[in-house]
A and B are shown apart, each in its own frame.
Chain A
Amino acid sequence: MSVAAPRASRRRLRYVAERRGFLATLLISPAVLFIGALVGAPLVLAIYLSFTDATGGSLTGKWIGLRNFRDAVDNSIFRGALWHTFLITLISQAVVVVCAGLLAHALVRKFRGRWILRFLILLPWAAPIALTVTGWYWIYGAGIPESSIFNWFLVHMHIVSNANLPNWLGTPHAAMSSIITVQAWRMIPFATVIFLAGISSIPQEVDDAAAIDGATGLRKFWHVSLPLQLPIATVAVLFGVIFTATDMVVPYILTNGGPFNSTHVLTTWAFQIGIVSGNVGEGAAIALFMLPLLAFVTIAMLVFARKAEVT
């Protein structure tokens, strides 16, 4: 009796252990199925559609080979969109890295008023972007230069005159700068938060060891702190690149590709062709130009996530 009871429970334990693989499959499969149906299948469908002449209202179309891609590339607005996507992503993320790096190093210390300052810095990330971009549309003057608060500041600092106000969303170069500003503005808080996590994850012993070895200030930063933070910071930047390059909300609400198609990016152009003009096949082909970037970032992410794990 007294011997049988532990043996029975041990047998049950072993039974449970044997079921473990089965149980894990059972628990994970709903997630995998959901993702396969809602991400994998549409992705395959997008690739298929890009080779057909499908239009709004039908999922099928005649197979037309690479014609959609040729038509897309032949269009100068598309080539502009490709260039703008690159430019907006590169410049905004460069600004983000510098600003977030500075901010994270300042915020890692303890000081009075930190909570409220952190709250203010997080605002652009926490607030829904479609709504805040609408706010920015108004800040830029909503098409009327006189009502832009920026212009009010510029006039009162005597940088521009009342007769010659910049139209922030109405001229090509100004519109591009406006979009880049908003993209950087909304990504700085997220990058700061992740950088901060990277700095805080450096163990105190490393700091102490560096101090004993006589490393201080910039030297310590360059040889000790920076290499340790780099992997996690890179992951944050890769996120920023993907979110910015594939974003449609900011350019769509601010300019919708205008003025004169001078600020289209891949996403707004794909929406214009695929939904507004109803040319689903070509729209899908345009959107697929984001795929190489996606593949590159995915691979980079895997490499750096592994490095981050090692440190």
Chain B
Amino acid sequence: MRRRIFPYAVVVPFAIVLAFPFFWMAVTSLKSNSQVYDPTKTWNFHPTLVSYGFLFHQTDYVRWLKNSTFVGLMVVLITLAVAMPAGYALARLAGRVGRGLGVGIFLTYLVPPTLLFLPLSRVVAQYLHLSDRLWALIVVYPSFTIPFAVWLLMGFFKAIPQELEDAALIDGCSRIGALVRVVFPISVPGILTVVIFTFSLVINEFVYAITFISSSTNRTLAVGVPTGLIRGDEYNWPGIMAAILIVSIPLALVYNVLLNRFIAGFTGGAFR
């Protein structure tokens, strides 16, 4: 009996505390702006979707959604094109060179944007002439998505038996042919995981986006929502809460579905 209760006794309180901010955001998003500051209406209010309408019709929110999606898709494409071959080669390179190189690439993921944004902001402005352009982000974001993706893909590719490729080689495939026709197709679930997590890293990024982008129409979600949803010095809190939830909840659902695969890739690169 005690063993049965233990998980609930621990997990339920934690779940409530960790998820509470989202619950409160949802409650706030259903109020009208005039009810937000009224202490008598903390729980006792008339739910309305007027703030969602406000968000979509009177702010740049849709624009930011489009910007983030565009940057996300471009970065995913660049990342896959560079990381899939590298991840595969590192998975198959036996011995210390392959391992060392794999760990080396992964460690660059630890170098934070907060250390690089000052020099990069000058490079973007002076050499690339991309100030206030989304392309500045598309060029810079692979700096952290590639190390992350190479690591995950390396873990996934290691799990694919070498014999499969050898069979393809004997059947007359070239090495690249075996890669494209045999290895990549059976890695689709792993690659999908990389796509989602790369996309999520892009949606999350804040430091570069706030440094490189200055005009409201070119902002991404991560910068637009905290800095842009102000009208005449007044915050529209229900609208802001709606803006957060619309992005967060779908992303969290996808995370939950792909979680086990993420763990396999993340820990598979090193710990096996």
CA distance A59 to B42 in the complex (A): 52
The yes or no answer to A7 lying at the interface (CB within 8 A) is no
The yes or no answer to B182 lying at the interface (CB within 8 A) is no
Contact indicator B271/A45 (Cβ below 8 Å): no
Please, what's the 1-or-0 string for A27-53, where 1 marks a CB less than 8 Å from any CB in chain B?
A: 110111011001110110110010000
What chain A residues lie within 8 Å of B8 (beta carbons)? Answer: 111
**A265 closest partner in B (C-beta):** B114
A118-158 interface (Cβ within 8 A of B) = 118-139, 142, 144, 146-147, 149, 152
What chain A residues lie within 8 Å of B120 (beta carbons)? Answer: 38, 42
CA distance A232 to B203 in the complex (A): 28
- Find B122's partner among A130, A189, A197, A280 (CB 8 Å cutoff): A280
Contact indicator A31/B105 (Cβ below 8 Å): yes
Contact indicator B115/A291 (Cβ below 8 Å): yes
The yes or no answer to B76 lying at the interface (CB within 8 A) is no
What chain A residues lie within 8 Å of B200 (beta carbons)? Answer: 126, 128
| Pair count A-B, CB < 8 A | 291
Contact indicator B126/A46 (Cβ below 8 Å): no
**B3 closest partner in A (C-beta):** A109
Q: Closest CB-CB distance, B239 to chain A, in whole Å?
A: 11
Question: Are A42 and B251 CB-contacts (below 8 A) given A31-B86, A120-B18, A242-B112?
Answer: no
CA distance A144 to B18 in the complex (A): 23
What chain B residues lie within 8 Å of A288 (beta carbons)? Answer: 115
The yes or no answer to A160 lying at the interface (CB within 8 A) is no
The yes or no answer to B53 lying at the interface (CB within 8 A) is no
B244-272 interface (Cβ within 8 A of A) = 244, 247-249, 251-256, 259, 262-263, 266-267, 270-272
The yes or no answer to A106 lying at the interface (CB within 8 A) is yes
The yes or no answer to B213 lying at the interface (CB within 8 A) is no
**A280 closest partner in B (C-beta):** B118
Question: Are A19 and B175 CB-contacts (below 8 A) given A35-B147, A127-B248?
Answer: yes
A246-296 interface (Cβ within 8 A of B) = 246-249, 252-253, 266-267, 270-271, 274-275, 280, 283-284, 287-288, 290-291, 294
The yes or no answer to A298 lying at the interface (CB within 8 A) is yes
Question: Are A139 and B118 CB-contacts (below 8 A) given A23-B175, A131-B222, A232-B271?
Answer: no
Contact indicator A197/B142 (Cβ below 8 Å): no
Contact indicator A138/B93 (Cβ below 8 Å): no
CA distance A189 to B170 in the complex (A): 46
Q: Closest CB-CB distance, B73 to chain A, in whole Å?
A: 16
The yes or no answer to A224 lying at the interface (CB within 8 A) is no
Contact indicator B221/A125 (Cβ below 8 Å): no
- Find A197's partner among B18, B235, B267 (CB 8 Å cutoff): B267
CA distance A294 to B108 in the complex (A): 10
Contact indicator A127/B271 (Cβ below 8 Å): no
Name the segment of B44-52, B184-192, B204-212 touching the other chain: B204-212
* Size class of the contact patch on chain B: 35 or more
State the interface size on chain A (CB cutoff 8 A). 104
What chain A residues lie within 8 Å of B7 (beta carbons)? Answer: 106-107, 109, 111, 114
Question: Are A133 and B226 CB-contacts (below 8 A) given A32-B105, A288-B115?
Answer: yes
What chain B residues lie within 8 Å of A252 (beta carbons)? Answer: 206
Q: Closest CB-CB distance, B72 to chain A, in whole Å?
A: 11
The yes or no answer to B241 lying at the interface (CB within 8 A) is yes
What chain B residues lie within 8 Å of A308 (beta carbons)? Answer: 270-271
The yes or no answer to A185 lying at the interface (CB within 8 A) is yes
- Find B111's partner among A27, A135, A283, A294 (CB 8 Å cutoff): A294
Please, what's the 1-or-0 string for B119-155, where 1 marks a CB less than 8 Å from any CB in chain A?
A: 1111101110000000000011011001100100000
Q: List 5 A-B contacts (CB under 8 A).
A: A28-B90, A39-B143, A128-B200, A149-B42, A298-B107
Partner-A contacts on B (CB < 8 A): 4, 6-12, 14-16, 18-19, 21-22, 24-25, 28, 36-37, 39, 42, 81-83, 85-86, 88-90, 92-93, 98, 101, 103, 105, 107-108, 110-112, 114-123, 125-127, 139-140, 142-143, 146-147, 150, 169-170, 174-176, 200, 203-204, 206-207, 211, 221-223, 225-226, 235, 237, 240-241, 243-244, 247-249, 251-256, 259, 262-263, 266-267, 270-272
